[in-house]
Chains A and B, each alone.
Chain A
Amino acid sequence: MKSRLTLRNAEAAPLKAIEPFGAGAFAERIQRDLKAGYRLISFFAHKASSHTTRLYAVIAYDDDGLIRVAATNVADSFESLTPDTPQAHLFEREIFEQTGIIPKGHPWRKPVRFIAAAPEEAGVMKFHRVEGAAIHEVAVGPVHAGIIEPGHFRFQCEGETVLHLEMALGYQHRGIERALKDGPDKRSIHYMETAAGDTTVGHATAWCQALESLAGVDISFRARAIREIALELERLANHVGDIGALAGDIGFLPTAAWCGRLRGDFLNMTAVLCGNRFGRGLIRPGGVAFDIAKPQVADILNRLDEAYEGLDTAVPMLFDSPSVLSRFEETGRLSIHHAVDLGLVGPAARACGIEHDVRKNFARRPEPSTRFTISTCNTGDVLARGMVRWLEIQRSIAYVRDRIRSLPDDATMRPMKALRPAHFTVSLVEGWRGEICHTVITGADGKLAACKVVDPSFHNWMGLAAAMRGQQISDFPLCNKSFNLSYCGHDL
């Protein structure tokens, strides 16, 4: 009897517990799950030996806090899941690009990161095209007008209305997953801290959780609390920055200016913890590299109070202004059905009314004493994505206050051990953009045989494309900002 492996968040199991299904049963199991509303959070190919390549599908059962892993061995092709379950579309393109294994029946087998293209052909592919005398095409990027990462957007427009938006990414591809193999070594944690630099704490935490589970090391409650505080500070800085940027994009300058400043105040709180505004150097396998002393607790609490006071004038003013609401409401609207079909995560999903958040659904046991409420809206527009952030800001501030006041007394670092050979683990963290998923497999020698890093942006870029349908092209910057996705996190 073939069976799936059932895991909790950051729990490792021997690789042999995963018995591969036959191709038909594999596809059937996954499709049944996805149609029942469970989510595909990772799907990748691993060349286990010179003659075996195995597909792993990792599925989240949010309500039960469980992760189920199914596998099948493949030769040179498999039946694509995408036509019935669109969540799989980018994963399958990625599998094809990385291994040449063909997802048969996939509607568009295009590059994801242009890993094999000639340098001058990055971004060159056959874009979907709307034909007709009244149709025009707009190409933007890879170099954008602001101080942001590169990516290419191709719009099909009829007048001002966007009929379709397609993205070509991959310009940021640095070969991170490849470089992680055969580790962990002294470079690994730095790859994770720079996988998406604005999510340093999120990716570093997911990575350390994965290694700790493979090593069978439990970090102290104090270290866990400090990681959680740092993760919330990262969320606060980015959410505050995003609300300011939304205000800036519609020319509501007071909130744009104030949030720009307040964002920095949160980055500076992270620097109080470890000296670096992005949390570089804080999260390390075995715990955290910096403890929080009493004066730092008082300092952070003071700074939180001051920042909250600033936010409490800056943000409600934005959402109370009719001129702002008229720009935010109904703009870039995404239905819950689309969001579920595409497998959206994070604030973008919660803004469509999807109630999932790793901090609640996959809380690591024993749970912290603080109760956690998932922040949702249900209109799926720019306003909802802004409001979810504002709700999360208020709840995160309360959470950090609670956690930092009641830090458990313990060591901050526990010695790491060797990784158990031939094990499999999945580690989830709710980063500020959404679910970060690291799947790590060790080989017979205890070294890393495969590392699959899924940044929330990997799920969500298609959400932005879907939200742009029928919108005015002039609203693209606003819609884009309301998602604020990572290019390097996608391109790795």
Chain B
Amino acid sequence: MGLIDILFARAKQGHRTIGFPNDAPVLPELFQGRPAVRPELCQAGCGKCADSCPTGAITVPAHIKNPELLLFATSDDASDGGDALSLDLGRCLFCGECGKACTEKAIEFTKEYRLAATSREALKLTGETFELAKALDEKSLKVFGRSFKLRQVSAGGCNACEADINVLNTVVFDLGRFGIQFAASPRHADGLLITGPVTRNMELALRKTWDAVPEPKIVIAVGACAISGGLYAGHAETRSGVPPWLKVDLYIPGCPPHPITILDGLLRLLDKLDK
């Protein structure tokens, strides 16, 4: 195998970097993105959506039919019966069971891939509107906008989030063209990108890694596990997501989020997207 053969093969493989963000992303036909929540269509009290949800992400009006869900509720969670139907994207596994369970189409999954949010509150869907992630302030953008290096920490992640973050480094997504890179050492990083429910056994390592990142620094939580504990919320073996001693700057929901969703979130944070 000589150099000439490699060059021929190279020509045959072609240019493979996707057009996103200038072009619309190509998503699978059956892709399930952000659910549309329509409280006005909800038949109060049926509760089938909440019953079907494996992570207690759904609050139904008046009462919850299945009190077992409360077992997995945390103090910041309103699933003890709110005024209107709501769905917490931060807990959602995008399994689609609630959409199938609802005969009234009060919850319906759409192909919307833009899921990242700046606040935990913004992930609690109560209607069809959604506040997309905001860019960092001007001062931070000056520091991070042109070169942003992240240290990834998997703290109980199942290797699905990790895999679809890794894929951003391939020629397909070519993350480097946006000035974003993953650093091997926290000392060379501008922040942490955390996956997994943060296991008890990883909390100390996470803290040490965080301490090693120089100021100013950013925290990004990717996946339902990191945002809320996801399926592992309430497990004694985990901290139910990024612990309170870290302030999260960007939430990217999903189980796992599609690489385009992750890329979209990162680009919004760095103010590299117009719409």
Stretch at the interface among A126-134, A218-226, A266-274, A414-422: A266-274
Please pick, from B159, B165, B209, the residue contacting A488 in the complex, using a CB distance under 8 A: B159
B residues within 8 A CB of A258?
Answer: 13
Closest to A120 in B: B204
Starting from the known contacts A123-B201, A186-B52, 5 additional A-B residue pairs (CB-CB under 8 Å) come to A147-B152, A149-B162, A173-B237, A179-B235, A264-B172
Indicate if the CB atoms of B202 and A194 lie closer than 8 Å.
no
A197 touches B171 (CB 8 A): no
Tell me whether A198 and B205 are in contact (CB under 8 A): no
Residues of chain A lying within 8 A (CB to CB) of residue B171: 257, 260-261
> Smallest CB-CB separation from A313: which chain B residue?
B9
- Encoded as 1 (CB less than 8 Å from any A CB) or 0, chain B from 44 to 66 comes to 00000000111100000000000
- Cβ < 8 Å to B, chain A residues 115-147: 115, 117, 119-120, 122-123, 142-143, 145-147
**Whole-angstrom distance from the CB of A392 to the nearest CB of chain B?**
19
Report yes or no: A146 in contact with B184, Cβ–Cβ below 8 A.
yes
- Given known A-B contacts A257-B171, A314-B13, A175 and B157 have beta carbons under 8 A apart: no
In B8-39, which residues have CB < 8 Å from any A CB? Answer: 9-10, 12-13, 16, 28-32
Are A190 and B95 touching (Cβ within 8 A)?
yes
In the complex the two chains form, is B199's CB within 8 Å of A171's CB?
Answer: yes
Contact of B200 among A119, A186, A271, A310 (CB under 8 A): A119
Contact B201 A278 (CB under 8 A): no
B136-155 vs A, Cβ < 8 Å mask (1 yes, 0 no): 00000000000000001111
Instruction: Sample 28 A-B pairs with CB under 8 A, ordered by A number.
Output: A122-B200, A122-B201, A145-B185, A146-B184, A149-B154, A150-B153, A170-B201, A171-B155, A171-B201, A172-B154, A172-B156, A173-B201, A174-B156, A174-B197, A174-B232, A186-B97, A187-B54, A190-B55, A194-B160, A197-B161, A197-B256, A260-B169, A260-B172, A261-B16, A273-B30, A274-B30, A275-B32, A317-B9
Contact with A along B245-259 (1 / 0, CB 8 A): 000000000011010
Q: Number of residues in B with C-beta < 8 Å to the partner?
A: 65
Residue among B12, B55, B157, B166 with max Cβ neighbours from chain A (10 Å): B157
Contact of B5 with A by CB under 8 A = yes
| Interface pair A198/B184, CB less than 8 Å apart | no
> What B residues does A170 contact at CB under 8 A?
201
Q: How far is the CB of B1 from chain A (nearest CB, A)?
A: 4
Q: How far is the CA of A137 from the CA of B231 in the complex (A)?
A: 38
Q: Are B1 and A317 in contact (CB under 8 A)?
A: yes
Contact B167 A264 (CB under 8 A): yes
Q: Is B273 an interface residue (CB 8 A)?
A: no
B160, A321: Cβ atoms closer than 8 Å: no
Q: Which residues of chain B have C-beta atoms less than 8 A from A173's C-beta?
A: 156, 199-201, 237
- Tell which of B52, B165, B258 has the most Cβ of chain A within 10 Å: B258
* B231 and A145 within 8 A (CB): no
Closest to A169 in B: B201
Chain B: minimal CB distance from A367 (Å): 30
Q: How far is the CB of A234 from chain B (nearest CB, A)?
A: 12
Give the 4 A-B residue pairs with the shortest CB-CB distance, closest first.
Answer: A197-B160, A275-B30, A197-B158, A122-B201
Interfacial residues of chain A within 301-316, with CB under 8 A of chain B in the complex: 310, 313-314
Assembly CA distance A488 to B195 (angstroms): 13
Contact of B158 among A115, A142, A275, A488 (CB under 8 A): A488
User: Closest residue to B200 on the A side, CB-wise?
Assistant: A119
- Bound-state Cα–Cα, A254 to B203, Å: 38
Any chain B CB within 8 A of the CB of A375? Answer: no
| B127 located at the interface, meaning its Cβ lies under 8 Å from any Cβ of chain A in the complex | no
Chain A proximity of B128: nearest CB distance (Å): 21
Q: With contacts A197-B157, A264-B172 known, is A290 near B30, CB below 8 A?
A: yes
Within 8 A of B (CB), among A136-183: 142-143, 145-150, 170-175, 179
Q: Mark B182-222, 1 if CB is under 8 A from A, else 0.
A: 10111000000000110111111100010000000000000
| Contact flags A183-203 to B (C-beta < 8 A → 1, else 0) | 000110011001111101000
B159 close to A261 (CB less than 8 A):
no
Contacts of B79 in A (CB 8 A): none
Closest to B193 in A: A147
CB distance from A374 to the nearest CB of B (A): 26
- Is A114's beta carbon under 8 Å from chain B? yes
Residue of A whose beta carbon sits closest to that of B157: A149
The CA-CA distance from A321 to B199 in the complex, in Å, is: 43
In the assembled complex, which residues on chain B have CB atoms less than 8 Å from the CB atom of A145?
Answer: 184-185
The answer to the question of B170 belonging to the interface, with a C-beta cut-off of 8 Å to chain A, is yes
Rounded to whole angstroms, the CA-CA distance of A263 and B168 in the bound complex is 12
Q: Is B228 an interface residue (CB 8 A)?
A: no
Q: B81 an interface residue at 8 Å Cβ cutoff? A: no
Q: Indicate if A277 sits at the interface (CB-CB under 8 A).
A: yes
Inter-chain contacts of B41 with A (CB < 8 A): none
Say yes or no: B28 contacts A148, CB within 8 Å.
no
B163 CB–A CB distance under 8 Å: yes
Give every chain A residue within 8 A of B155 (Cβ-Cβ): 150, 171
Q: How far is the CA of A307 from the CA of B115 in the complex (A)?
A: 30
B9, A280: Cβ atoms closer than 8 Å: no
A197→B93 CA distance, assembly (Å): 13
CA distance A281 to B160 in the complex (A): 14
Chain B proximity of A150: nearest CB distance (Å): 6
Contact A268 B199, beta carbon cutoff 8 Å: no
Q: Is A486 an interface residue (CB 8 A)?
A: yes
B160–A271 CB distance below 8 A: no
Q: Is B118 an interface residue (CB 8 A)?
A: no
Task: Report the nearest A residue to B155, measured CB to CB.
Answer: A150
Within the complex, what minimum Cβ distance (angstroms) separates A396 from chain B?
19
Chain A residues whose CB sits within 8 angstroms of the CB of B93 once the complex forms: 190, 280
B31: chain A residues at CB < 8 Å are 271, 275
> Which residues of B from 74 to 123 have beta carbons under 8 Å from A?
93-97
Cross-chain contact B30 with A122 (CB below 8 angstroms): no
Beyond A174-B199, A190-B54, A257-B171, is A142–B205 a contact (Cβ under 8 Å)?
Answer: yes
Asked if B13 and A143 sit within 8 Å, CB to CB, the answer is no
Contacts of A290 in B (CB 8 A): 30
Q: Does B164 contact A (CB under 8 A)?
A: yes
CB distance from A41 to the nearest CB of B (A): 23
A320 within 8 A of B: yes
A190 vs B91: C-alpha distance when bound (angstroms): 13
Q: Which residue of B lies closest to A189 (CB)?
A: B54
Give min CB distance, B264 to chain A, whole Å. 16
With contacts A146-B184, A196-B159, A278-B256 taken as known, whether A317 is within 8 angstroms of B231 at the C-beta atoms is: no
